[in-house]
């Protein structure tokens, strides 16, 4: 059964429906545009457009007359390329008449996918417009453009060296081992499992061993800002003595349905890393880190 996303509004009344609200890159999405139902209406064209906006933040530093520097954080936006799809030509509707028009709009093969960060964002919406003399009534429906696993595996994005390896070696502060993940890449809103093998050169008292999956988002322009977004945290072991023989710890979980896939845009990047944190009292916590790739759909 198809999922229906719907939004209504405007004067004259406009309603946009889509068969699904999460869109697959390189595919057509089916929808319907409902027009009218109030007074008489004449328009020259009805069109539907998939519109994307990339947003990024950066710091700009200036110096005043006394030579004191001052830094301001600025936000920039850029519309992503889009192609309006005409669904009706010149049309006249009588009072109370309703016109239902099916349509298809293409989703860009390379997105970029929806990305829900603060320093870097990508947002998409389907917008319907009527070309009416004097004003253009419109209505917009927020949608999500997905990042398929196939795009990550095909090398469309430059990934970390071991992001797509089922198992990767890790080492830090006299601790070495490996982290295995299944599946690779991970997927937003989906379950995963893994295996951690660690061996320490000497014995140490630890408070806990935990996993932290973090998404590092950054703007790649001059003065670009960056942030680290915690996406998932798992506790592997509690307080005790750690060291000596190799120790295996199995883990599993489910990523939240938050749109933070691995992404590369004109003005930024979003990459994921899995941190093994060995929490140690009165000392710096060793972090053993491996690259991770995150998709937002396994349909492609």
Domain stops at, among 109, 128, 146: 146
Domain stops at, among 120, 146, 172: 146
How do residues 58-89 score in pLDDT, each as one tens digit?
999 878 777 778 889 999 999 999 989 999 99
Same domain, 156 and 290: yes
Same domain, 281 and 200: yes
Same domain, 124 and 203: no
Q: Mean per-residue pLDDT for 230-253?
A: 84
Same domain, 131 and 240: no
Compute φ and ψ for 118, nearest 5 degrees.
-100, -50
CA distance 278 to 203: 13
* Residue 100 located in a structural domain: yes
Same domain, 112 and 175: no
Compute φ and ψ for 284, nearest 5 degrees.
-65, 135
Q: Is residue 127 very low, low, confident or very high in pLDDT (cuts 50, 70, 90)?
A: very high
Q: Count Cα atoms within 13 angstroms, Cβ side, for 215.
A: 29
Report the number of distinct structural domains present in the chain.
2
How many C-beta atoms surround the C-beta of residue 278 within 10 A? 23
Q: What percent of the chain has pLDDT over 90?
A: 60
CA distance 300 to 296: 10
Same domain, 162 and 123: no
The two structure tokens encoding residue 291: 């690259």
Residue 6, pLDDT above cutoff 70: no
* Residue 300 located in a structural domain: no
> How many residues make up the chain in this entry?
300
Domain stops at, among 124, 146, 168: 146
Same domain, 123 and 204: no
In order of 113, 189, 260, the CA distances from 257 in angstroms are 14, 4, 9
How many C-beta atoms surround the C-beta of residue 43 within 10 A? 21
Residue 1, pLDDT above cutoff 50: no
110: containing domain? 5-146
Identify the pLDDT of residue 10: 59
Query: The domain that contains 171 carries what CATH number?
Result: 2.60.40.640
Q: Is residue 8 very low, low, confident or very high in pLDDT (cuts 50, 70, 90)?
A: low
Residue 298, pLDDT above cutoff 50: yes
Identify the pLDDT of residue 243: 67
Is 250:282 a contact under the CB 8 Å cutoff?
Answer: no
Q: What percent of the chain has pLDDT over 70?
A: 96
* Residue 245 located in a structural domain: yes
Query: Is this prediction's pTM over 0.85?
Result: yes
Is 261:270 a contact under the CB 8 Å cutoff?
Answer: yes
Same domain, 140 and 155: no
Q: Mean per-residue pLDDT for 163-171?
A: 93
């Amino acid at each position: 059964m198809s999922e229906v996303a719907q939004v209504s509004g405007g004067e004259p009344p406009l309603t946009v429906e889509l068969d699904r609200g999460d869109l697959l890159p390189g595919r057509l999405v089916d929808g319907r545009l409902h027009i009218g139902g109030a007074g008489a209406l004449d328009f020259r064209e009805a069109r539907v457009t998939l519109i994307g906006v990339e947003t990024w933040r950066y710091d700009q530093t200036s110096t005043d007359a006394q030579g004191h520097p001052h830094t301001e954080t600025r936000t920039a936006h850029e519309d992503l390329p889009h192609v309006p799809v005409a669904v009706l030509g010149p049309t006249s509707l009588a009072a109370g008449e309703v016109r239902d028009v099916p349509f298809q709009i293409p989703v860009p093969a390379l997105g970029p996918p929806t990305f829900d960060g603060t320093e870097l964002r990508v947002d998409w919406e389907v917008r319907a417009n009527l070309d009416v003399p004097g004003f253009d009534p419109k209505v917009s429906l927020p949608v999500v453009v997905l990042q398929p696993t196939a795009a990550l595996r095909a090398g469309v994005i430059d990934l970390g060296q071991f992001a797509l390896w089922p198992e990767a070696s890790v080492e830090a502060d006299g601790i070495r081992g490996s982290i295995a993940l299944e599946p690779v890449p991970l997927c937003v809103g989906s379950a995963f499992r893994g295996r951690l093998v660690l061996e320490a050169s000497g014995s140490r008292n630890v408070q806990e061993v935990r996993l932290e999956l973090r998404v590092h988002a950054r703007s790649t322009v001059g003065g670009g800002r960056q942030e680290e977004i915690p996406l998932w945290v798992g506790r592997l072991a509690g307080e005790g003595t750690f060291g000596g023989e190799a120790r295996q710890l199995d883990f599993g979980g489910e990523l939240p349905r938050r749109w933070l896939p691995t992404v590369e845009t004109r003005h930024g990047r979003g990459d994921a890393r899995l941190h093994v944190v060995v929490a140690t009292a009165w000392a710096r916590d060793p972090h053993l880190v491996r690259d991770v790739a995150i998709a937002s759909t396994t349909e492609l």
